[in-house]
Structure 1
Amino acid sequence: METRDGVWLMPCALFLILSFVSQPSMAADSISVNETISGDKTIVSSGEVFRLGFFRPGKATSSKHYIGIWYNKVSDQTVVWVANRDAPISDPSASALKFSNGNLVLLNESRIPVWSTNISSTPLGSLRATIQDDGNFVLKNGPNSSKPLWQSFDFPTDTWLPGSKLGRNDTTKQTQSLTAWKNPEDPGSGLFSLELDPNGTSAYFIMWNRTRQYWSSGPWVDNMFSLVPEMRLNYLYNFSFVTANNESYFTYSMYNASVISRFVMDVSGQAKQFTWLESSKQWNLFWGQPRQQCEVYALCGAFGSCTENSSPICSCVTGFEPKSSLEWDLKEYSGGCRRKTKLACENPVPSGGADRFLLEPYMKLPDPSQSMAVANDRDCESLCLRNCSCIAYSYKDRRCEIWSGDLLDMRKQSPSDPGTRSLYLRLAASEFSSRKRNTGMIIGIVVGSAAVLATVLAVLFLLLRRRRIVGKGKTVEGSLVAFEYRDLQNATKNFSHKLGGGGFGSVFKGSLADSTIVAVKKLESVSQGEKQFRTEVSTIGTIQHVNLIRLRGFCSEGSKKLLVYDYMPNGSLDAHLFHDKVLDWKTRYQIAVGTARGLAYLHEKCRECIVHCDIKPENILLDAQFCPKVADFGLAKLFGREFSRVLTTMRGTRGYLAPEWISGVAITAKADVFSYGMMLFEFVSGRRNSEQSEDGTIKFFPSLVANTMSEEGDIRSLLDSKLQGNADVEELKKLCNVACWCIQDEEVQRPSMSNIVQILEGVLEVNKPPMPRSLLAFNDSHEHLVFFTESSSSSSSNQNSKTSSTTSSSQAKSSTSTTSSSNAA
């Protein structure tokens, strides 16, 4: 080294080398014949979208390493492809991904190949493997080669990325399917897979162990899978199913390339579509099937039972314990459960007595091994007991079903669920002995607590006595109270303060003896008997949701049928939309979201789907904070056949009834979706959907919205003038789009209420809706549409009601009756 003025001078070459080393360097996007990937070395796609290298799944303490591909810019490391998923290595620094004999090979720490591309030998000098911005890892013979020798897209693991294929090639016999990881910390091949129907149809199946199908997409029809109608409700994805050149496959792309999305065969056994939300730094679930976790076949393994909405979702049946507590902690339940105690017939020297059977009630049972006719349940029990391989039986209607081997796909259910049965499970006698000891301990505890229990009972007696005095009712189920008619008559001051009325009956304000304000609904012409009425009301009373009105109790004395609800101080929505009161846009939007949540709960979360059948602003009540409460749900079943009379006597301007009410086809939850959509138009305009101008012409607001949306006109022109333009434009556009989708003529084209909730909450995106044919007919003919039924009189059984029946411009025209100025509640 030389110095000048006391400063050391570094040779120029060494300075340049150190300067280069000190600068952060961008990893290359490929490796060639003479290069390897070892240790923490990685390669990154040219646009820095994906990274390839060694990784450890799950906890950082894991000793297993894999070669994989993950998102480079997503903060939560998300692996989309794994090379050696079933052959992990323990030391990445001593292992290498390199070229060998014309293939890309992964050598473990012992220099043994654990993974290879397995292609025909190619001259080594020109081979190159590149990670692309679409996540595809491609092996080519030279930079100018157009067709890859091998690509990771042909061998997906659990993730399907935009641009890749899922299908089969009948010529090469190559298939692409997705197979879930074993658990979040083990990318090994799990039991659940998604694949194209091997029988040759265009449907996709989710399979358990490649042998049992438990979900299907349905065939590809009209640019969608028949059992996945949600495919119509997005503008994020461009889907296509291709059949050409002896190849059939499904693929998709993103309309917006900046959106990060992936489709995964999840460890839960569900197929899921995710999008990345950078704002919250998390993956957002866009779509998933099957919707119920317990619909996944054999999720809990042998002798495991699945219970929806429980934590954990899987449990072992009585007498069994998890085979691997570690796996169950990782939510990998497929290993199932094992017996705690061997059966007597399995022991060479049995002790403790003969095996016995334990009742497991309310189960959805797996397919039986054998079924036969018997005289009674004791014969069924004896039949199973004589055969050591029989581990359970079930008896019903002189049929004995027995099971041998593992019990798979058991589910805990409620007594009212369809297919619920009782299972008698074979256990060692000692299991019952231990239960007796536990029973003795419980008895001792109960005896020791007798004094405390007596005190509690005395207090409860006093409270119940006070409640009897206050509410004049008897609790029949949960918090539901059976009131006497005279008590409700007194509470409402002989039904003097009427809040509203409609087809179902009139509503009166009342005050119980403890000053609780209630709304009492007097039902008219209920067709059901006493027992059936109480059963239906009890069912309604168990339904609890923040956006559903709470039923406090009922009265049933002969023909006198009344329902008692919580009182809503802000009344019904129609009073705020159509009269002097003004709802700001934020409140309107939150009411729209809350109403959708309530309806989604009725349609999908109840034991049985509840179709409301009468969605309109009058049936949306508002509490003190303007939180919406859907009212009158479940009442359609109370009226039975008379419900058609309720519908036809509803008065109003343009109504909310779906076309299927007139056509006579079966009514489903999509009828509520139609009514909800018609109501959304009124959220936007602040007035009834149909108005008659001074010159006698009909102004139909849904038609105006649809035209404005299709022609991309000024959407603010649709807004309620009372708001003076104060509204979120994106929310306004979203509400109009959803409304137009809801009123599609074909119910299969309408979204589900759960989809609507996701759209309004910003989870799902929705594309531009088509113009419903009925709106096109209205534009052409200016005739009334089949969106409502109405009557000029309801006082006589021989009333002359006229129903609008124009559904298209080619159909016969009929006149409609004169409408009243407001809808009845």
Structure 2
Amino acid sequence: MVSFFFTFFSLFFLCIHVSSAADTISSDFTLSGDQTLVSSNETFEMGFFETGTSSNFYIGMWYKQLSQRTVVWVANRDKSVTDKNASVLKISDGNLVLLDGKNQTPVWSTGLNSTNTSSVLKAVLQDDGNLVLRDESGSVLWQSFDHPGNTWLPGVKIRLDKRTGKSQRLTSWKNDDDPSPGLFSLELDESTAYKILWNGTTQYWSSGPWNSQSRIFDSVPEMRLNYIYNFSFFTNATESYFTYTIYNHLNVSRFVMDVSGQIKQFNWLEANNLWNQFWSQPREQCQVYAYCGSFGICNEKSQPFCQCPRGFRPDSQKDWDLKDYSAGCVRNTELQCSRGDINQFLPLSNVKLPDNPDVVVITSLGNCASACQGNCSCKAYAHDQGSNRCSSWSKDVLNLQQLEEDNSEGNTLYLRLAASDMPSESSGKSNKLMIFGAVLGSLGAIALVLLVVILILRYRRRKRMGREKSDGTLSAFSYRELQNATKNFSEKLGGGGFGSVFKGALQDSSDIAVKRLEGISQGEKQFRTEVVTIGTIQHMNLVRLRGFCSEGNKKLLVYDYMPNGSLDSHLFIDQTEEKIVLGWKLRYQIALGTARGLAYLHDECRDCIIHCDIKPENILLDSQFGPKVADFGLAKLVGRDFSRVLTTMRGTRGYLAPEWISGVAITAKADVYSYGMMLFELVSGRRNTEQSENGKVRFFPSLAATVLTKDGDIRSLLDTRLDGEPVDVEELTRACKVACWCIQDEESHRPTMSQVVQILEGVLEVNPPPFPRSIQALVENDGSVVFFTESSSSSSHNSSQKQSHSSSSSSSKKTSTNNSSA
């Protein structure tokens, strides 16, 4: 009996103790297993909860009185625990920590750098859903309201710290069963507007700035009709934040950054025992950026909203079943780019095209399709017949959307597929093919004999002429064939340190450009191997190599002919030449296309290929003035002899980076320097170095750097022939800034070509550049700059080019002197 009463009273006092501490974790009370904390008004409850069937447990907070468990905050959302009974939430070393399993491994902590670990701490779950860690004086050391998850409760401040530039974020769950951070987040920006981001980078919705007079966000007019919430916006020199309270505290309401990528407002309907969605943005699901992941198609008229194109399947069906489409779709059959004939293109009609194509050029549909077919990395392309704009994508295709038939924004996207996944032909067409096949079969014997005869004749001819296929794409020509094709090399297009270029035509009447190389000493086998390697490099902004010739010392390369010639022939023209002056938009597209081609050579080939000779003469223009980088394989071909060949070049010294002259190892940043010099010439329409009428040398990069660093008139740098034309000043400023960054003396201070592409596309912001030291030295010693006369450059095409080329050489030499003295 005594034992019974002892046990009874022990349990009684224990219940009193637990009841009095039901909302508090202290040094003598921890949370484990099925134990929970309950706020004093019993609105919120906190403890371990399990998601789905995964046996993953999290410490979370939910509404206690609602029939649906609705989690509003999760502590360890990045890492779950597997055994709630062996895990414990406790006060330890001045923090609230979650320890996992028998080994008591730390999984989550409040992360305070507390020096006074002897202080008595308490964690209290308050009536508003705020978990607060206090010291013995009552001071708040940490609170969950400062670390929101996916739910914005009344009283929570989503703030921007103006001192650090950091903003608190609401971040979606990965899916309905996984509270780990998803791809969608809401935050406040410096313009006092809330924005929703995909992957922390791409903004696809904004509330508009806060209007202090009407007390609403400009793009959320629904706030005018609000009778439930009391909204407050606060801003000062150190922070800005937005918060809200509820007029009637009997109402239960919350804002959620949902797994759908939409910010949603829910009100609890007690009579129906469910959450009622009151408001959401963006309004349409398909306005959420990349909601369906890579290659996924969003369709507002279907359920679910996301679908995979024909020949594709969900990358993770399990995730799709949980409404997480972020992994997108993958092909049923892997592409085999080494055999282009087994890959075809599936047309997707009436779709909103993906954002951010990797390449955009002006060309015909046929050329657009051929360029993508010939480029192993090209995954999709589209062509606008009205503008002849050809866009292609080599990476993930994101943000595809199926549009209605009458939508004027609809386009056709061509997706690369294995031929086995392409739609089958119709039965009618198949029947016609069968009939046609039967007819051919009746003539099979005759055709077979003729085919054998033709093959024998062609084999003998090819053997006699020395022509053979090297890898299925490049042709090995005989010297006599190219001699005939170029009419004994009679029509010269240009020349340089590597040799001369001649126009020709093949037997199929297609025009070609034949480069007769000089100073190439590789053996036959090595040369062929190197050429075949270069021939596999395909990009819309690189000139396509069609074939080669290698007979003893006779080494020639065969390229596609570019009808509009080289860039220099359109930039450096005088008033007597009857040529169209390139407009600013076209110049900007040429700059962007050239940068994309170089970025491909530097970053996307198996080995980094450094061009080593970027200049307007090596940028060729196709029939639509699309830029093509030429001679990109010559540095690889020349190899160890390149430095010797370079010293004999004419007209390129003005594009050489300082490290060429100082003798240090050359990296891809040497191309960046040359590109910057060429970009200045695109802007001004003149050679960077010219002699004025009074005999002084004008060095345009120094003028541009002065204007940029002293906030001068940026339009004063533009080609005077473009006066009166509409020019995008932002594009002009961006081009000049990036050019000045490209010609910095230190390699580490120059951007990569991939960064240049992003800057020109407007993806990256570019800061004001510093004045390059070597240019500053050149300006300070202007009187001692040596200017070469016409006779110094006998190999140039004409006198004006000779002069300007030589000037470039002198400038480069002077730069070298200044660098070495520094």
TM-score, normalised via structure 2 length = 0.50
> Does 2:504 match 1:510?
yes
1:498 and 1:507 in contact (8 A); partners too: yes
> Does 2:713 match 1:720?
no
Q: CA 1:791 to 1:37, structure 2 compared with 1: closer, same or farther past 3 Å? A: farther
Matches within 5 A, 1:401-800: 462=454, 473-579=467-573, 580=577, 581=579, 582-652=581-651, 655-726=654-725, 727-782=727-782, 792=792
SS of aligned partner of 2:690: strand
Q: CA 1:600 to 1:806, structure 2 compared with 1: closer, same or farther past 3 Å? A: closer
2:402 is aligned to none
Matches within 5 A, 1:329-340: none
Q: Cα deviations across residues 505-551 of structure 1 (Å, max 9, x unaligned)?
A: 10000011111110000000102111111111001101111111000
1:612 and 1:636 in contact (8 A); partners too: yes
Q: CA 1:693 to 1:805, structure 2 compared with 1: closer, same or farther past 3 Å? A: closer
SS of aligned partner of 2:655: coil
2:39 and 2:127 in contact (8 A); partners too: yes
Q: CA 1:704 to 1:512, structure 2 compared with 1: closer, same or farther past 3 Å? A: same
2:280 is aligned to none
Report deviation, 1:613. Answer: 0.4
1:363 is aligned to none
2:469 and 2:475 in contact (8 A); partners too: yes
Matches within 5 A, 1:21-420: 34=41, 36=43, 84=77, 122=122, 139=132, 148-151=141-144, 187=178, 274-278=201-205
Q: Cα deviations across residues 427-466 of structure 1 (Å, max 9, x unaligned)?
A: xxxxxxxxxxxxxxxxxxxxxxxx9999899869958967
Q: CA 1:253 to 1:505, structure 2 compared with 1: closer, same or farther past 3 Å? A: farther
Worse-superposed segment, 753-762 or 550-559:
753-762
Q: CA 1:476 to 1:116, structure 2 compared with 1: closer, same or farther past 3 Å? A: closer
Name the aligned partner's letter for residue 565 of structure 1.
Y
Name the aligned partner's letter for residue 501 of structure 2.
V
Consecutive unaligned residues in structure 2, runs of 5 or more = 1-37, 63-71, 83-94, 99-106, 113-119, 151-157, 207-285, 292-310, 329-376, 378-440, 796-808
The separation in 2 between residues aligned to 1:127 and 1:497, in whole angstroms, is 88
SS of aligned partner of 1:490: helix
The separation in 1 between residues aligned to 2:566 and 2:773, in whole angstroms, is 32
Report deviation, 1:683. Answer: 1.0
Report deviation, 1:706. Answer: 1.1
The separation in 1 between residues aligned to 2:41 and 2:108, in whole angstroms, is 18
Q: Cα deviations across residues 246-280 of structure 1 (Å, max 9, x unaligned)?
A: xxxxxx9977675858796xxxxxxxx51314499
Q: CA 1:573 to 1:56, structure 2 compared with 1: closer, same or farther past 3 Å? A: farther
2:394 is aligned to none
The separation in 2 between residues aligned to 1:515 and 1:469, in whole angstroms, is 20
Q: Cα deviations across residues 107-134 of structure 1 (Å, max 9, x unaligned)?
A: xxxxxxx99979976596988666xxxx
Q: Cα deviations across residues 758-779 of structure 1 (Å, max 9, x unaligned)?
A: 1111222111112111122122
1:602 and 1:611 in contact (8 A); partners too: yes
The separation in 1 between residues aligned to 2:73 and 2:159, in whole angstroms, is 8
SS of aligned partner of 2:470: strand
Consecutive unaligned residues in structure 1, runs of 5 or more = 1-30, 40-53, 58-62, 70-78, 90-102, 107-113, 131-137, 167-177, 193-251, 265-272, 286-309, 316-321, 334-413, 415-450, 796-800, 814-825
Name the aligned partner's letter for residue 276 of structure 1.
Q
Q: CA 1:325 to 1:146, structure 2 compared with 1: closer, same or farther past 3 Å? A: closer
Percent pairwise identity: 56
Report deviation, 1:717. Answer: 0.9
2:562 and 2:620 in contact (8 A); partners too: yes
The separation in 2 between residues aligned to 1:807 and 1:263, in whole angstroms, is 47
SS of aligned partner of 1:477: coil
Which one of 804, 808, 812 corresponds to residue 813 of structure 2? Answer: 804
The separation in 2 between residues aligned to 1:599 and 1:464, in whole angstroms, is 44
The separation in 1 between residues aligned to 2:546 and 2:683, in whole angstroms, is 33
SS of aligned partner of 2:547: strand
SS of aligned partner of 1:556: strand
Provide the alpha-carbon RMSD of the alignment.
Answer: 5.9
Name the aligned partner's letter for residue 522 of structure 1.
R
The separation in 1 between residues aligned to 2:607 and 2:522, in whole angstroms, is 19
2:486 and 2:504 in contact (8 A); partners too: yes
Q: CA 1:183 to 1:780, structure 2 compared with 1: closer, same or farther past 3 Å? A: same
The separation in 2 between residues aligned to 1:588 and 1:808, in whole angstroms, is 33
1:11 is aligned to none
SS of aligned partner of 1:696: coil
1:284 and 1:763 in contact (8 A); partners too: no
The separation in 2 between residues aligned to 1:787 and 1:331, in whole angstroms, is 61
1:681 and 1:736 in contact (8 A); partners too: yes
The separation in 2 between residues aligned to 1:571 and 1:147, in whole angstroms, is 72
Name the aligned partner's letter for residue 722 of structure 1.
R
The separation in 1 between residues aligned to 2:593 and 2:452, in whole angstroms, is 37
Report deviation, 1:165. Answer: 13
The separation in 1 between residues aligned to 2:658 and 2:496, in whole angstroms, is 22
TM-score, normalised via structure 1 length = 0.50
The separation in 2 between residues aligned to 1:536 and 1:313, in whole angstroms, is 40
The separation in 2 between residues aligned to 1:512 and 1:123, in whole angstroms, is 83
Q: CA 1:104 to 1:638, structure 2 compared with 1: closer, same or farther past 3 Å? A: closer
Name the aligned partner's letter for residue 201 of structure 2.
F
1:275 and 1:284 in contact (8 A); partners too: no
Name the aligned partner's letter for residue 597 of structure 1.
R
Q: CA 1:145 to 1:730, structure 2 compared with 1: closer, same or farther past 3 Å? A: farther
Name the aligned partner's letter for residue 760 of structure 1.
L
The separation in 1 between residues aligned to 2:610 and 2:684, in whole angstroms, is 26
Report deviation, 1:494. Answer: 0.2
Report deviation, 1:147. Answer: 5.2
The separation in 1 between residues aligned to 2:41 and 2:786, in whole angstroms, is 73
SS of aligned partner of 1:774: helix
Q: CA 1:642 to 1:787, structure 2 compared with 1: closer, same or farther past 3 Å? A: farther
Report deviation, 1:585. Answer: 0.9
The separation in 2 between residues aligned to 1:750 and 1:519, in whole angstroms, is 34
Q: CA 1:747 to 1:283, structure 2 compared with 1: closer, same or farther past 3 Å? A: farther
1:528 and 1:640 in contact (8 A); partners too: no
1:708 and 1:714 in contact (8 A); partners too: yes
2:542 and 2:630 in contact (8 A); partners too: yes
The separation in 2 between residues aligned to 1:548 and 1:591, in whole angstroms, is 12
The separation in 1 between residues aligned to 2:144 and 2:785, in whole angstroms, is 56
The separation in 1 between residues aligned to 2:41 and 2:172, in whole angstroms, is 33
Q: Which has the higher contact order (CA 8 A, sep 6+)?
A: 1
Q: CA 1:759 to 1:517, structure 2 compared with 1: closer, same or farther past 3 Å? A: same
Report deviation, 1:607. Answer: 0.6
Q: CA 1:165 to 1:256, structure 2 compared with 1: closer, same or farther past 3 Å? A: closer
1:681 and 1:701 in contact (8 A); partners too: yes
